[in-house]
Amino acid sequence: MKTRFKIVVLAVAIAVACTDAFAQFGVNVSYMNSTTYSRLDGAENPSTSGTNGFAVGIDHNIRLIGNILSIQPGIYYQHLLRSEDIAEISGLVANTTFTENFLAIPIHVKVGFNLVPKDILKLYVFAGPTFSIGLSSTDKVSVSGSVMGQNVGGEFSYNYYNGKIKSSSDALQSVVDTYFNPESEGQRQRFDMMLGGGVGLQVVRFLDIKVGYDYGMLNRYAGDMADRGTAHRGQFYVGVGVRL
């Protein structure tokens, strides 16, 4: 845990402290699609679950060799969401909304090539690590229906980081205790180190358009689930930014 903390502190320091004369400040917003690939011991194929969302953040483009080679640290807030209806079970109808929020700290090495002289149109490729810190990961379930002649309605939520369940009423809590098994959901780690890269275009040194992909190197399962299987997250994104 201490090693992970030191890595995060170092990444944040690089992201916020690089403001020398050769740095160019940028603001970015991206569409994101994230897929978690999970596999339990003994299973032949991994199962997948996807979310969509957005990322917004800032970065610095620090030139190392002219306009060709640079390093680009940044810091981003990521929000991901999935909502779906659950088939009726024992007289209950439910809708679940899964949300995750992350703080992401990419540190990319970037190599650029002018397609049109004088930096009017520039193609670049980038690659490097992204340090991901989980802020929240919850499943909120809205329930309505009848169980054993008793009307039941309300919401309950499951926190993937601490494994706790919260219900809106005692009656709903008793139903949750009967039908919902937290151990089958599994707890998750907050910290991940992702590796990835992508390609982008810079127009007249002002507008940035980029496409990239990152894949998590660490097992996201925590607790007992970490001994029974693995879960890794991959994220695809398309971003637009402006250079100031």
Ordered structural domains, the chain, with CATH: 2-243 (2.40.160.20)
On the question of pLDDT at 202 being above 50, the answer is yes
Give this prediction's pTM.
Answer: 0.82
**pLDDT band for position 31 (cuts 50, 70, 90):** very high
> Considering the chain, what is the average pLDDT of its residues?
83
Structure tokens at 15: 């992201």
On the question of pLDDT at 6 being above 60, the answer is no
**pLDDT band for position 116 (cuts 50, 70, 90):** confident
**pLDDT band for position 15 (cuts 50, 70, 90):** very low
On the question of pLDDT at 36 being above 60, the answer is yes
On the question of pLDDT at 240 being above 80, the answer is yes
On the question of pLDDT at 109 being above 60, the answer is yes
Give the ranges where the chain is alpha helix by DSSP (H): 2-17, 170-179, 182-185, 225-228
More confidently predicted of 1 and 65: 65
- Tell me, what's the pLDDT at 45? 80
Query: Contacts by 209-217 with C-beta closer than 8 Å and gap 24+?
Result: 209/239, 209/240, 209/241, 210/126, 210/238, 210/239, 210/241, 211/236, 211/237, 211/238, 211/239, 212/126, 212/236, 212/237, 212/239, 213/237, 214/130, 216/132, 216/192, 217/192, 217/193
**pLDDT band for position 206 (cuts 50, 70, 90):** confident
- Tokens 């926190």, residue located: 159
On the question of pLDDT at 8 being above 60, the answer is no
Spatial distance between the Cα atoms of 129 and 194, rounded to a whole number of angstroms: 6
More confidently predicted of 180 and 226: 226
Count CB neighbours of 24 within 10 A.
Answer: 14
Cα torsion angle, 160, 50, 28, 211, sign: positive
- Tell me, what's the pLDDT at 119? 76
Question: 142-173: per-residue pLDDT in tens?
Answer: 777 666 566 666 788 889 998 888 877 666 66
Instruction: Kindly list the distances between the CA atom of residue 97 and the CA atoms of 23, 81, 155, 183, 235, in Å, as whole numbers in the listed order.
Output: 41, 7, 11, 19, 19
- Tell me, what's the pLDDT at 225? 84
SS3 130: strand
Radius of gyration of the chain (CA): 22
Question: 41-83: per-residue pLDDT in tens?
Answer: 877 788 899 999 999 999 998 988 888 899 999 999 999 999 8
- Tell me, what's the pLDDT at 126? 98
| Count of residues making up the chain | 244
Spatial distance between the Cα atoms of 99 and 53, rounded to a whole number of angstroms: 9
